[in-house]
Chains A and B, each alone.
Chain A
Amino acid sequence: MQSNINNIKAGAKRKIVNDFFSELFYVLSGAILIFTCLEIFWPGIVLAYLNLNYVLIFWLVIGIIILF
């Protein structure tokens, strides 16, 4: 009985981690889309402070983590 509860708790923790990465992936996808749009309308607004290449790499890494 106790081991079942522990398994469920461990599963829940795993799910939270998986959900966190999934949510992060969605937010990063949104960020890339919004940043790109902002750059099209106001060139330099994002690139002046943030290198979008790093955001893309981070987004890709999170995507790979979700798959595995």
Chain B
Amino acid sequence: MNEKNNIISNGVNKNVFKIRIILWLILAIIIAWFIYMKIAPTGAISYVYDFSRPNYFIGKLTPAERTKTSEAETEIKGDPVYFSLKTPRRFERAKVTIKFKNTTDLPIMEIGLLNNKNAWSSDLKPLQNKIIDQLNLAWSVVSEENGVKLIEREKKYNTIEQFLNNLPNKEEIALYNYNFKNNFLLKSYKPSQQDNIINYKIRGAYQFYTYIKQEELDYIFNFIDLNLNSDDDTVEIKVYSGDNEIYSTYITDSKTDNNERQAIVKIADLPEGVYRFSIIANNDIITKNIISKQNQFVLINKVWLADGNKKNITLFTNSRLINAQTINPGSLGKIKVGDTFIDVNETYKQLSVKILKQPAKIELNKDDIIISGDGVFSFTEAGLFDPKLKTVDENLNINDEKINYVLTNYQTPIDSNGWQTTTQEFDLTKAYQENGKYQFLISIPSLKAEESRQGKVIVKEIKVELFGTTLKQKLKKYFSF
């Protein structure tokens, strides 16, 4: 009897041992899987957010007032909307695939990755361009293996190389998502012998083009730090030739009582041409004035004329759509734009007007107003120049502007059961990261939450594929010296 009891007891103990081993083994496997997903030893990992339940890595579309989320999709009601991406470790590239439907009359839908928080700049890439999709069907198309397409109103060129070597009048060309090397020259330009003072107060970040010919690129910027917030108010100045950065400098926040700072940019031996300055600063920084030997100065896309400027400021622009906004109740009022007016009657609200005839004159009675558009802005009519070719966007009228050629690197989205899918790749090494999160944005220009519109823009799914160094490469690098 006792023997039998012992046999049963031994059997039970063995079973307990087996259970113990199995359970701890399961836990070990789970932990190993967590570590595997964290390290991503293959150097690649992907996440999918289909809006049915929250995703730890891909954030929901925000802000809430510009989106409407239902069971398994999100409707975008205003431009732009944002989503965040949290990565388990450092990756170099992100391939983002968006499954969407755009039944509105708005032709452009783009996706971008935030590169700089102060300048709020992002690298925008196409999701959909309905204008090019239509031209693809109606006009003659020359395609290359690398994805570049030349769309011609009438068949004239057989290859893109042939087109680039025998360019037609640049007024007939429009670009979209194509890096066109435009050798822009101002034939009547003569270097100035004296200092030119741009005596307008500009708030926050801005960009401008300047031009040099057999002279030194010479700019002095005088800044004032408003210190409205306690953040670090560093100013970064970058100079570009085409898309290549040729110079950059930082003006650190001294954190002293002296609120004035100066930056001097002098670059010699540069070839004749257009150079782009990018002033990256937060809204605490006001550029008090700019002193330069150069007499060409055009602001790109946006200017915030700060409080304390002289009254009755006049701007000239080649923009086809002009927006005005203010955060200052004292700056509310009408702005004359060409033959029409923008009635800025509400703070924080962006108001727009379409201009049929360019260049247009903008007359501002008050300052502290943000003026933006799809072109450039100059303080003098004679000084207005734009080295960029026309862009195929919602403001371009292909027929009225006599566009005969469209050069693009845009790929039409893949259609599946009425849903469009587009994939775009982003460089994460240059992207801005806050609390370990990258910020992406989806832009549908002219889509405003407060305006009713026929059709909808719906996002069904966001897929992110991340690529970086593999564990093997990392170990090889670590043990190589």
Please name the residue on chain A nearest to B38 by beta carbon. Answer: A45
B16 x A19 contact (CB < 8 A):
yes
Interface 0/1 of A44-63, CB less than 8 Å to B = 11111100000000000000
The answer to whether B270 has its CB under 8 Å from any CB of chain A is no
The answer to whether B4 has its CB under 8 Å from any CB of chain A is yes
B86 x A12 contact (CB < 8 A):
no
A side interface size, CB within 8 A: 23
Q: A52 to B38: give the CA distance in the assembly, Å.
A: 17
A-B pairs with beta carbons under 8 A, tally: 55
Residues on A with C-beta less than 8 A from B30 are: 31
Residues on B with C-beta less than 8 A from A15 are: 12
| Selected contact of B8 from candidates A8, A30, A38, A44, CB within 8 Å | A8
The answer to whether B19 has its CB under 8 Å from any CB of chain A is yes
Please name the residue on chain B nearest to A4 by beta carbon. Answer: B1
| Selected contact of B37 from candidates A19, A24, A27, A49, CB within 8 Å | A49
Q: A45 to B124: give the CA distance in the assembly, Å.
A: 31
A27 x B27 contact (CB < 8 A):
yes
A45 x B4 contact (CB < 8 A):
no
A19 x B88 contact (CB < 8 A):
no
Describe A's contact surface by its main secondary structure: helix
The answer to whether A40 has its CB under 8 Å from any CB of chain B is no
Residues on B with C-beta less than 8 A from A47 are: 56
Q: A48 to B57: give the CA distance in the assembly, Å.
A: 7
* A residues whose Cβ falls under 8 Å from a Cβ of B: 4-5, 8-9, 12, 15-16, 19-20, 23-24, 27, 30-31, 34, 38, 42, 44-49
29 residue pairs of the A-B complex, CB under 8 angstroms, read: A8-B5, A8-B8, A12-B9, A12-B11, A12-B12, A16-B15, A16-B19, A19-B15, A19-B16, A23-B19, A23-B20, A23-B23, A24-B23, A27-B24, A27-B27, A31-B27, A31-B30, A34-B27, A38-B31, A44-B56, A44-B86, A45-B37, A45-B88, A46-B34, A47-B56, A48-B37, A48-B56, A49-B37, A49-B56
Smallest CB-CB A-B distances: 6 pairs: A48-B56, A27-B23, A19-B16, A45-B38, A23-B19, A12-B8
